[in-house]
Amino acid sequence: MRFVDFAIGLGLCLLGFSAHALEIEEQRSYAGSGPVVVRILSTADLAAFEPFITTFQAQHPEIGVDYTVSSSAEVYRAIQGGARYDVVISSAMDLQFKLANDGFAQTYSSELTDRLPSWARWRDLIFAFTSEPAVAVVSTELFAGLPLPKTRQELIAILRENPERFVGAIGTYDVRTSGLGYLFATQEARISDAYWRLSEVMGRLDPALYCCSGQMIDDVSEGRLALAYNVLGSYADQRLAEPGNGGMQIIEFDDFDNVMLRTAIIPKTVTAPQEAGLFIDTMLATGLRQNQDDWVLPPLAASNTQQLSFGPIRLGPTLLVYLDPLNRRAFLESWQDAVEQGL
Amino acid sequence: MTPNSSISRRLTFLLACVAAVLSVLSWYMVTEFARQAAERTQDNILEAAATIIAEALRSEDGEVRLELPYSAFSMLGAISEDRVFYHVATGTETLTGNAPINANLTAPTTGQTALDTITYQAEPVRVASVTRVILNNQAPVPVTVSVGQTRNGVSLIANDLSRTAGIFSIAFFVLAVGLSAIVARTSLRQLKVIAEAVGRRGPSDLRPLRHPAPEELAPLMVALNSLIDRLARSLRQSEDFITEAAHRVRTPLATVRAQAEVALRRVESADEKQRMRQIIRAVDESSRSAGQLLDHATVAYRAENVPDNRVDLAFVAKVATDALQPTADMKDIDIGLRTEETVVLGDRVLLESALRNVLDNAVKYSPPETSVSVTVFKADGFGQITVSDHGPGLGTAPYDRYTNRFQRGENVGGTVGSGLGLTIAKDVVVAHRGTIELTDNEGSGTCVSLILPLA
Amino acid sequence: MRYLLVEDNQELAEAVVNRIELDGHAVDHAASLAQASDCLAAADYDLILLDVMLPDGDGRDFLATRRDVSETPVIVLTARSQISDRVGALDQGADDYITKPFDFAELEARCRAVLRRRGGAAKNEVKIGTATFDLTNGTLRVGDDIIELRNRELRLLEVFVRNAGQILSKTQLVDRMFSYDAEVTENAIEVYVGRLRKKLTRAGARIETVRGLGYRLHGS
């Protein structure tokens, strides 16, 4: 098992984690009438994901579900470390892809996987079931009097022209700790030069750095932040729908969308492969529906109906590029130079 | 011939076998070609990716640095959904990578690309390696970039093409079998044509077959012709036998006749002369009978298979008239010939013989210094040869009597004749789907008409 | 006239030779194709009488090879009477054919017809009064005028010419002139002599009636 050691070592090294137990954010068990339990490791908040579990158990009441939430980096580390789960769900496409590419995923195929569009799957290893754009969220109060930017160029201009209003009032992912943040940042940097200019402008405004979309959205809705850049649209929509959140607006830029596909794999360490497959099928059936209805997580069709300039981030070996430790080091150096200047 | 030995079926089967071999061969070749093409494509892309990565290597602050080019991985992702592995090493030290795919590879010499297939995680992985020397701290450092990819895409493409080729091969095979059947039947049609050509022949037609035939059938034609030849020879032998028999009879008759003529000149007494004349007449009668019998047999034989040759009755009349002119001259009988081109279908030899027999009768039974007229003309879709004489006429007997064998007219007196002449003529005309008419020639003499359908 | 008879049957050949010589012609006899070739090399003939069945070959093959070399007309003597056989002989270059047994009068008529058709044969002419009679082809001319003779008149004239100066009885004339398939009366002879006599007056020749004996031609 030399290659496993190698891979583990490389993984730990590249993500800068020391060997420690999985950091669990949430966990919940849903008992089934039978003894079999599907163990799911996921980055999705329970609040957002619970409808899937409910739907699944309605179809298969005999199967219990154990749902564990952790960060994308933690999820990746755990699976690479051989943790025993049946389904792994993550918003960090690159890490999911790397798991599949590097041989940590089990193949699975069913009628539903065959129905997925080609961009929503990679071989029989990795399956997308949502398509979620990165958006900006602004506080209506703190943004008052300013035009809402339609492109990143306009946002840069607004930030430059109103530094006093935005100092310390901008939030974005800390790409060093957030897998999703790193994915959004690297993809945006690849697509547009505006990313680095925006990062520099934000860097001068002493941005607050976050691990997760939820906290950023909380801070905007509570007036601590004027702008949260690159948060998950799905979470923002959900928060906006809650009562008493009228002081917040969602901006989807016209220049390009950064659309993430939430993906699932069945790890090689699966103990209940048949049930894991059934669970994947439930997710895909939901993902293949045409309308979002009152679900938090949007269906795959969401990225079809919106006119995307680039389409969702592509599932493929290019996702490996920015996960390479050398590239990651170089990117993070540039990012730090831009975002953490002079403080 | 049993149905099992049908040449058509055997030919079809053989051609189908050939088609099957060709189908399998073409399928194999296409599959092999597709696999090689897919493999070569992958090799090219792996080489390109490795090269692009190697070119991105640089030395910075005393260490070898690398920013993986997005395009290298973009290329790898473009052709197939194959797992991608890469490994960059300076000497034995790993610089970066996601799998130790260079473990069993020997680093290629600088500027060269090495390709190899290794097994990684129980899967075959194709690996391209490039070594580049980077100057680091003034010291040259060889850096080896290896890029690997599983081969699912290759097999997928190869299998796809192989399946397509398979479908084509099967379609080709089915088509080829169909065509084989057609070809077999078409080729054998030649055989059938020859068979029909043989079948159409009359029993007496023993000319060699001249039908154009494919060279493959040449041996058959040769065999057939040699059979016909042998048949003809054996038939000729029986003809020769008859001829020989006739010769044997006729030659002594001729001798007797010649001697009788000589004797007739030399004897003085009227009685003797009379006896000699009787001898001569007897000889003539028997020879004429023999001739007509033989003619009749020949006509009966040939009439079974009358060919459809175009025959001009005017020509037939001319030939028959010319042949009998000297005989007619002996009695100062004029043969008047009036013809127009009148083409019928049939056997020239038979028609000549019919007319000659009619004309022979006319000349024989006409008194000296009279005339016989031969007319050939067309009327109402029929061609007609009419021979009128000023002989004794037919008397009152019904016409059928004269055309039955050995019946002679009532009034022929001492004239030599066997009575077969009209029978021969009738047989010939009937064989040509025609009719024969006998009428009185305006009070004196006979008028015989041979009426035949025009061509 | 000089004939070549090619016939392998000795008796028939003798009879034919005798018979032809009766009419005053010369006949050579060859019993095989080889002998026939020898004869043809040694002498010129006016006509060849050719049997088709010979010990050393088929007369028709001989015809086919002879035809290029010799212009001598050929009459084929055949014992066959098969229809196609007769035509075959003509196709292969015979001028005429006659079936055995044959009437010599008819043979003579055919010979004359052949010679007349061929023309150009050696002339065998006799003078009758002021007229010229060609025995080979049977034409009688005064100057450039041809005196038309019917066949029986011609044969009668021939008989007189070949027996020049002789008195020929009616019986003799009947024997020589007619074939034997018809009864010919001596009265008929008187009719023909009468006609011929009339035609010969133009040539200044005459046929004398010798009472009780027969006729004699004067002027030849």
> pLDDT tens digits for A43-75?
988 988 999 999 999 999 999 999 999 988 889
B243 with C85: Cβ contact below 8 A: yes
The Cα of B227 is separated from the nearest Cα of chain C by a number of Å equal to 23
Residue A115: count of CB within 10 angstroms of its CB = 12
The Cα of A4 is separated from the nearest Cα of chain B by a number of Å equal to 9
The Cα of B271 is separated from the nearest Cα of chain C by a number of Å equal to 12
Confidence (pLDDT) at C51: 86
Share of chain C above pLDDT 90, in %: 1
The strand pairing partners of C27, in sequence order, are: C3
3-state SS, C161-195, equals HHCCCCCECHHHHHHHHCCCCCCCCHHHHHHHHHH
B70 with A318: Cβ contact below 8 A: yes
ipTM of the complex: 0.82
Q: What angle do CA B206, B211, B213 make, to 5 degrees?
A: 135
Q: Is B61 on the interface with A (CB under 8 A)?
A: no
Q: How many whole angstroms separate alpha carbon C37 and alpha carbon B226?
A: 35
The Cα of B71 is separated from the nearest Cα of chain A by a number of Å equal to 8
Chain B residue closest in CA terms to C156: B330
Confidence (pLDDT) at B235: 57
Confidence (pLDDT) at A78: 93
pLDDT greater than 60 at residue C205: yes
Confidence (pLDDT) at B406: 42
Q: What angle do CA A211, A214, A216 make, to 5 degrees?
A: 70
Of C16, C101, C175, the CB nearest to B264: C175
Of C81, C87, C182, the CB nearest to B295: C81
Q: Is C22 on the interface with B (CB under 8 A)?
A: yes
Confidence (pLDDT) at B416: 44
Q: How many whole angstroms separate alpha carbon B91 and alpha carbon B93?
A: 6
Burial environment of residue B239 by CB neighbours within 10 A (0 to 12, 13 to 18, 19 or more): middle
User: Encoding tokens for residue A294?
Assistant: 């009152």
Confidence (pLDDT) at B27: 84
> What's the average pLDDT block by block, 10 residues per block, for chain B (455 residues)?
62 81 84 83 88 88 86 85 90 85 73 85 90 86 90 82 84 83 77 73 65 70 74 61 65 81 80 81 76 70 75 90 83 89 88 87 84 91 90 58 48 50 85 86 80 89
Q: Among residues 230-289 of chain B, which lie with CB inside 8 Å of chain C?
A: 239, 242-244, 246-247, 249-259, 261-262, 264-265, 270, 273, 277, 280-281, 283-284, 287
Chain B residues touching A98 at Cβ < 8 A: 98
Q: Among residues 294-323 of chain B, which lie with CB inside 8 Å of chain C?
A: 294-295, 298-299
B77 with A318: Cβ contact below 8 A: yes
C101 with B368: Cβ contact below 8 A: no
Confidence (pLDDT) at A4: 37
Q: Is B353 on the interface with C (CB under 8 A)?
A: yes
Confidence (pLDDT) at B415: 45
Number of helices (H), then strands (E), in chain A: 15, 12
Chain C residues touching B283 at Cβ < 8 A: 101
Q: What are phi and psi of B180, to 5 degrees?
A: -60, -45
Chain B residues touching C84 at Cβ < 8 A: 298, 349
Residues with Cβ within 8 Å of C68's Cβ and at least 6 positions away in sequence, in order, are: none
End-to-end CA distance of chain A: 46
A317 with B120: Cβ contact below 8 A: no
Of A102, A123, A318, the CB nearest to B98: A102
Q: How many whole angstroms separate alpha carbon B68 and alpha carbon B133?
A: 17
pLDDT greater than 60 at residue C81: no
Output the pTM of the full model.
Answer: 0.54
Residue type (1 letter), C78: T
pLDDT greater than 60 at residue A16: no
Chain B residues touching A10 at Cβ < 8 A: 97-98
Chain B residue closest in CA terms to A98: B98
Residue C82: count of CB within 10 angstroms of its CB = 20
Q: What is the dihedral of CA B121, B126, B130, B131, to 10 degrees?
A: 40
Q: How far is CA B64 from the centre of its chain?
A: 84
Q: Which chains touch B (3 or more CB pairs under 8 A)?
A: A, C
> pLDDT tens digits for C100-159?
888 887 888 888 878 777 765 556 778 888 888 887 777 888 888 888 888 788 888 888
CB-based touch A/B (3+ pairs, under 8 A): yes
Q: What is the dihedral of CA C91, C92, C93, C99, to 10 degrees?
A: -80
Chain A residues touching B53 at Cβ < 8 A: none
Burial environment of residue B219 by CB neighbours within 10 A (0 to 12, 13 to 18, 19 or more): exposed
Give whole-number Cα distances, B148 to A112, B237, B423, in Å: 31, 92, 106
Q: How many whole angstroms separate alpha carbon A123 and alpha carbon A125?
A: 5
Confidence (pLDDT) at B44: 87
Confidence (pLDDT) at B266: 79
Q: Which chains touch A (3 or more CB pairs under 8 A)?
A: B
Model confidence band, residue A6 (pLDDT cutoffs 50, 70, 90): very low
Confidence (pLDDT) at B411: 46
Chain B residues touching C99 at Cβ < 8 A: 250, 287, 291
Q: Is A98 on the interface with B (CB under 8 A)?
A: yes
Of C12, C105, C175, the CB nearest to B330: C105
The strand pairing partners of A88, in sequence order, are: A41, A265
Model confidence band, residue A264 (pLDDT cutoffs 50, 70, 90): very high
Residue among B42, B46, B68 with most chain A CBs within 10 A, to mutate: B68
Residue among A326, A327, A329, A335 with most chain B CBs within 10 A, to mutate: A326
The Cα of B37 is separated from the nearest Cα of chain A by a number of Å equal to 22
B97 with A10: Cβ contact below 8 A: yes
pLDDT greater than 90 at residue A28: yes
Average pLDDT, chain C: 80
Report the candidate in B190, B90, B188 with the shortest Cα–Cα distance to residue B131: B90
Chain B residue closest in CA terms to A2: B100
Q: Among residues 75-114 of chain B, which lie with CB inside 8 Å of chain C?
A: none
B287 with C109: Cβ contact below 8 A: no
Confidence (pLDDT) at C122: 56
Chain B residue closest in CA terms to A315: B77
